[in-house]
Amino acid sequence: MSSNETNRDIGHSPSTTNYWNPYLCGVLIGLVLIASYTVLGTGVGASAGPARLGAQIERWIAPTHTAATEYFAGWGEHPLAYYLVFMLVGTFVGGLVSALLAGRVECGVVERGKAFGAVPRLMFAGGGGLIVGFASRLARGCTSGQALSGGALLLTGSLIFVACLFAGGYASAFLFRRQWND
Amino acid sequence: MIETFYGRNALDTPVAFFAALLMGAAFGFALERAGFGSSRRLAGVFYFKDMSVVKVMFSAMLTAILGLALLTAMGWIPAGNLNLMETVYGAHAVGGLLFGLGFVMSGWCPGTAAVGLASGKWDALVFLVATMLGAIAFNELYEWIKPLYNWGLQSEPQFAFGIPTHLFAFGFALVGVVAFYFSEWIEKQVGGEGPYLQSGFLKAYSVAVVAIAATLFVFPGDSDTSYTVARPVLSDARFSSDTVLSAVASGADHIEPEVLADQLVKGDSDVVLVDIRNELEFKRFHIRGAIHVPLVDVIARLESYRDAREIVLYSNGMTHPAQARDQLAMRGFTNVYMLTDGLQGFLDRCLRPVSLFNEPLAPERVHQIATWRSYFLSDTNRPPDAVGPPDAVGPPDAVGPSSR
């Protein structure tokens, strides 16, 4: 950690640890899932947001090409007109409200261990994001839309997804441990 | 009784968008409260430093599993109102493994990154942009990935590995409690803290989870049917599973290529022929008179044909038409048929030059094929070599005078 960086720059401020009981947060998320299934008839979801934004951007840049690609073409001419896009906006807003109330908004933080640089950390974040974006399409959802939402209905595919998610994570965790070294 | 937006096919309305926004806000609030606006905390689960991910995920899943099981057992959510995602064993397994790799590399998943972005984290922003690029890459590679994407696709959603769902849910609750205590214990071993290990809270919470799971056994009407989430697609009031299953068994949900060809040549305007392949394939060649509707749009686009005598679906194979047929049947469509053997069957049986049949054909049949060929193989609409084997349709030169 270079001399002009503070604990704040790497997300180590004291206010960051004043969280609610994780079990009760989990129950709260479970209640949100129940509410979503009883009102919307679907679970929650997040990965559709960036994916559909990607489809819209590709449409703006190369409309004919995008219309000829089977996957994005299936989302129609207005991929952003979709309930999960609005849900992700809501997730951002809800997170913002909570973070503001708890005094946890700290702009410009690149969260990492003290002994790790900001640039390599952002490269890990980007590399992982690419893989997650791809894997979420393949699995038809992410931790929210597939693991939690499908798991809530005990869908076998979703349960397989969760098990493999943790297997993949634990199997490769040693490769990325240094970014959290203090 | 609850009728959901999904059940009313109204998920694409402004009210549903607003409801989704509110659900998202509650979801984001809870994620942030749990500390999931922090990649360090999320990644901690993979190093046994901070097991919050396990505690939160198991709690959320157990709450939702038990809540939804009880609601459906009491009949409050009628079948057909829940979106049941398709089960694709291979894609879910490979997707999960890759996702785990990306998760531990980045320290984020999409929902938590939205909350991380709200907390001002640059790494969350970079992650989300990359997620978008990953989806674009998927789209560009889709043609090649398709076999993997559909690897292990089941004809209908599968539940709980085939174990009776109330049994599975109870077992899941027990596993959850073990996971809670293991998480607290290992946090103590690794970081010296296991805040809830000896607490009365965790004891009471664990007992409550198991007790609620146990009520699934004693609930009135407890059997396979108590878990109507398991069978909503086939028990919709507008759509009796018996009629569809008997139609499937007797083949009455199929239409033979010859029958369809005759109807089309006669100019039967009450037949709606629907090509659900991708746009490119459709542009290259389609059966004359077909309209193109992507699989994802069948419900919206075919609503106006609800009263047509026949809606005939075709694709390259039979899997996608069957999916579309199920979706439409669930919406109360009773006029949906699948073209037997798909486009290939049509090409083989109706448009193959007479000279390429191995067996001799009756004169009426020869005449029929000539009529069909002249109708379906006009200059503007000839199948390229890519569609169908060369010996079936052949290059334009081999088509013969009747096609002109």
C-beta separation of B104 from A176 below 8 A: yes
Q: Which of B234, B265, B298 is the last residue of a domain?
A: B234
Interchain contact, B25 vs A91, CB within 8 Å? yes
Look at residue B398 and tell me whether its pLDDT is greater than 70: no
Q: Cβ atoms within 10 A of the Cβ of B146, count?
A: 13
Q: What is the pLDDT of residue B9?
A: 81
Is the domain of B288 the same as that of B386? yes
For residue B169, the one-letter residue type is A
Q: What is the Cα–Cα distance from B153 to B138, expressed in whole angstroms?
A: 18
Q: What share of chain B is helix, strand, coil (3-state, %, to 5)?
A: 60, 5, 35
Is the domain of B367 the same as that of B221? no
Is the domain of B198 the same as that of B252? no
- Condensed to tens digits (0 to 9), the pLDDT of residues B339-382 reads 988 888 888 888 888 878 777 788 888 888 888 888 888 655 55
DSSP 8-state secondary structure symbol assigned to residue B311: E
Is the domain of B217 the same as that of B245? no
Is the domain of B219 the same as that of B267? no
- Condensed to tens digits (0 to 9), the pLDDT of residues A108-137 reads 899 999 999 999 999 999 999 999 999 999
Provide the number of structural domains found in chain B.
2
Intra-chain end-to-end CA distance of chain A, in Å: 9
Q: How far is CA B46 from the centre of its chain?
A: 30
Residue B177 resides in a domain: yes
Residue B133 resides in a domain: no
Copy the structure tokens of residue B280: 């490119």
Residue B74 resides in a domain: yes
**Nearest Cα residue in chain A from B131:** A133
Q: Which of B201, B234, B267 is the last residue of a domain?
A: B234
Of B21, B104, B120, the CB nearest to A169: B104
Is the domain of B346 the same as that of B215? no
Is the domain of B249 the same as that of B216? no
Q: Locate tokens 């000839």: which residue?
A: B382
How does B308-325 read in b/e, with b if 16+ C-beta sit within 10 Å?
bebbbbbbeebebbbbbb
DSSP 8-state secondary structure symbol assigned to residue A19: P
Residue B306 resides in a domain: yes
Copy the structure tokens of residue A16: 């960051």
Is the domain of B388 the same as that of B292? yes
Looking at every residue in chain B, the average pLDDT score rounds to 84
What is the spatial order of strands in the sheet that B336-339 belongs to? B254-255, B336-339, B310-314, B271-275, B291-292
Longest dimension (CA), chain B: 89
Size of interface A-B (CB pairs under 8 A): 567
Q: How close is the nearest chain B Cα to the Cα of A76, in Å?
A: 8
Pick the more confident residue, B41 or B278.
B41
Alpha helices in B151-226 (DSSP H): 165-191, 200-218
Q: What is the Cα–Cα distance from B102 to B283, expressed in whole angstroms?
A: 37
Look at residue B212 and tell me whether its pLDDT is greater than 90: yes
Of B81, B122, B135, the CB nearest to A51: B135
Which of B6, B25, B17, B11 is CA-nearest to residue B111? B25
Beta bridge partners of A155: B159
Is the domain of B263 the same as that of B220? no
Cα angle B364-B369-B370, degrees, rounded to a multiple of 5: 95
Dihedral angle over CA of B369, B379, B312, B385, nearest 10:
80
Beta bridge partners of B338: B254, B313
Look at residue B250 and tell me whether its pLDDT is greater than 90: no
Is the domain of B207 the same as that of B320? no
Q: Which of B218, B234, B250 is the last residue of a domain?
A: B234
Q: How close is the nearest chain A Cα to the Cα of B367, in Å?
A: 38
Q: How close is the nearest chain B Cα to the Cα of A67, in Å?
A: 8
Look at residue B62 and tell me whether its pLDDT is greater than 90: yes
Beta bridge partners of B125: none
**What is the value of ipTM here, to two decimals?**
0.96
Range of the domain at B269: 241-403
Is the domain of B177 the same as that of B33? yes
Interchain contact, A40 vs B16, CB within 8 Å? yes
Residue B110 resides in a domain: no
**Nearest Cα residue in chain B from A71:** B139
Of A16, A128, A148, the CB nearest to B106: A128
**Nearest Cα residue in chain A from B19:** A40
Question: Which domain CATH number covers B294?
Answer: 3.40.250.10
Residue B4 resides in a domain: no
Radius of gyration of chain B, Cα coordinates, nearest whole angstrom: 27
Is the domain of B259 the same as that of B326? yes
Residue B145 resides in a domain: no
**Nearest Cα residue in chain A from B30:** A25
Q: How many helices (H) and strands (E) does chain A have?
A: 8, 0
Residue B174 resides in a domain: yes
Which of A96, A100, A8, A57 is CA-nearest to residue B135? A57
Interchain contact, B105 vs A128, CB within 8 Å? yes
Q: Cβ atoms within 10 A of the Cβ of B307, count?
A: 7
Q: How close is the nearest chain B Cα to the Cα of A83, in Å?
A: 5
* Chain B residues touching A161 at Cβ < 8 A: 92-93, 95-96, 99
DSSP 8-state secondary structure symbol assigned to residue B339: E
